[in-house]
Amino acid sequence: MDKLVIKGGVPLSGELRVQGAKNAVLPILAATVLADGECVIHNAPRLRDVNKTDLVLTRLGCSVKREGNTIFVEPTAECACSICEELMREMRSSIIFLGAIISRCGRASVGMPGGCSIGLRPIDLHLKGLRALGVDITEERGYINCTAKRLRGADIHLDFPSVGATENIMLASVYADGETYISNAAREPEIADLAELLNRMGARISGAGTGLIKIEGVKKRLCGAEYTVMPDRIAAATYLAAAAATGGDLLLTGARPDHMEAMLHVLRDMGADVCAHGGSIRLKAPKRLRGIHTLRTMPYPGFPTDIQSPFMAAASLAEGTSVFTETIFENRFQHVDELVRMGADIKVVGRSAVVQGVKRLSGARIVARELRGGAALVIAALAAEGESEITGTEYIDRGYEEIERCISECGGIIKRVSE
């Protein structure tokens, strides 16, 4: 496996174009299963998770071709309607195909997605929504088997604004008889991106991005469409945190600051000078960041859980105390031990982590155990004194496109070494 070797202490400065959003392109690729014709998806980031999703599409009988950051997908007539458990275990977020396969084939059989290191990741809200649409679901021998003679519109209330459940219900209801309403829907921008593509394909979805989404079932089969994926707000904020932690001066282009309000406010509260204009965000770091007092992860538009660990890495060197409370996932502090190994002063108490800022971190051999925690270790290594070696790069590569190129282009000293 690879490792990243980073020499810390160099401010991250320069200009960086924001990659396409991982959490938008995955459901968007699932939606292409519904098209009677070719979909052309631009700004698709080159990531392990996207490669795995391309594999799922291929296994479902679609022809998939990638040219740079554009993916061409064309379903064939005989679309398969099952995803084996090995593939589901490899990438649990393939559960997002369930709604699309049911819409296309009237049935689906997928391996149980299981949990991952950050939490159990139940799918009860997905299944509750599908049952409300008239899907019969049995769970046996590790598979979820769905059949639907007729999909009928329904009023569905989500107990929690689940991103995946919102997306699966949208995908499953595009052809349902009548109207479907999703209340307490997730409001993440990635939902609106998915709805925009589906509407271009001929679906009739309104309210995406708000807590109440309406899907009017259509009779006409959806057609192919061309679409450009939104920028990745989490990757963007990760690089801003890296610039903030290293005393840098970074200009992001191709960003959507309106998707990042909560995160930009926190960076300003920490003392960074952040200026957003059109698709650009410029961050000038202070000599030393200030602690963030208390910070709770919340569903959008609150502070995103995905940026908790990268911001904790930056807070580790801030003046004063920062208390992070993780309300979304039950095990999202795996990066803490590794940051402590570098000299951070962090204590986990239940769902909260209390960070006492220290003056310096020291480079060390550290291990990434999940995607965003791995990004946090990269930030800490860039800000630390001396050299760090980070293993577990396969997690980081799930969500950050060419991370060593991006960091090197902004002056960071980083290289990827095959172990």
Question: Is residue 334 part of the contact set for ligand EPZ (CB under 6 A)?
Answer: no
What is the maximal distance between C-alpha atoms in the chain? Answer: 64
| φ, ψ at 383 (rounded to 5°) | -95, -10
Is 306 annotated as ligand-binding? yes
- Residue 34 vs 123, nearer CB to ligand EPZ: 123
The CB-nearest residue to ligand EPZ is 164
CB 247 within 8 A of CB 224: no
Q: What mask of x and - would describe binding to ligand EPZ in positions 109 to 148, judged by CB under 6 A?
A: ----------x-xxxxxx----------------------
Structure tokens at 187: 């409001």
Q: What mask of x and - would describe binding to ligand EPZ in positions 302 to 321, judged by CB under 6 A?
A: ---xx---------------
Strand order in the sheet with 249-253: 13-17, 249-253, 280-284, 273-277
Site for ligand EPZ in 180-239 (CB under 6 A): 186, 188
- For the question of residue 116 being annotated catalytic, the response is yes
Is 273 annotated as ligand-binding? no
> In whole angstroms, how close is the CB of 264 to ligand EPZ at the nearest point?
18
> In whole angstroms, how close is the CB of 299 to ligand EPZ at the nearest point?
7
**Distance between CA 405 and CA 72 in Å, rounded?**
25
Among 83, 163, 235, 383, binds ligand EPZ (CB under 6 A): 163
Question: Is residue 329 part of the contact set for ligand EPZ (CB under 6 A)?
Answer: yes
Structure tokens at 342: 């570098």
Is 415 annotated as ligand-binding? no
DSSP run (H or E) holding 356: strand 352-356
> In whole angstroms, how close is the CB of 208 to ligand EPZ at the nearest point?
14
Nearest Cα neighbor of 93 from 62, 63, 52 is 52
From 19-27, 211-219, 280-288, 351-359, span contacting ligand EPZ (CB under 6 A) = 19-27
Is 123 annotated as ligand-binding? yes
- Residue 126 vs 369, nearer CB to ligand EPZ: 126
CB 26 within 8 A of CB 417: no
> In whole angstroms, how close is the CB of 163 to ligand EPZ at the nearest point?
4
Show Cβ contacts of residue 161 under 8 Å, excluding neighbours closer than 6 positions: 184, 185, 186, 187, 211, 299
Structure tokens at 234: 């989490």
**Distance between CA 5 and CA 370 in Å, rounded?**
18
- Residue 207 vs 399, nearer CB to ligand EPZ: 399
Question: Is residue 168 part of the contact set for ligand EPZ (CB under 6 A)?
Answer: no
Structure tokens at 237: 């904020």
Is 75 annotated as ligand-binding? no
Chain mean position to CA 249:
25
Is 304 annotated as ligand-binding? no
CB 385 within 8 A of CB 363: yes
Which residue among 79, 84, 116, 223 is the active-site one? 116
Site for ligand EPZ in 382-401 (CB under 6 A): 399
Is 328 annotated as ligand-binding? yes
**Three-state DSSP state, 189:** helix
- Residue 247 vs 374, nearer CB to ligand EPZ: 374
258 exposure class (CB count in 10 Å sphere: 0-12, 13-18, 19+)? exposed
Among 371, 379, 381, 384, binds ligand EPZ (CB under 6 A): 371
**Distance between CA 336 and CA 347 in Å, rounded?**
8
Site for ligand EPZ in 20-49 (CB under 6 A): 22-23, 26
Residue type, 16: L
CB 345 within 8 A of CB 310: no
Q: Which residues are catalytically annotated? A: 116
Binding residues: 22-23, 92, 121-125, 306, 328
Binding residues for phosphoenolpyruvate: 22-23
Enumerate binding residues for ligand EPZ (CB under 6 A): 22-23, 26, 93, 119, 121-126, 160, 162-165, 186, 188, 305-306, 328-329, 371-372, 399
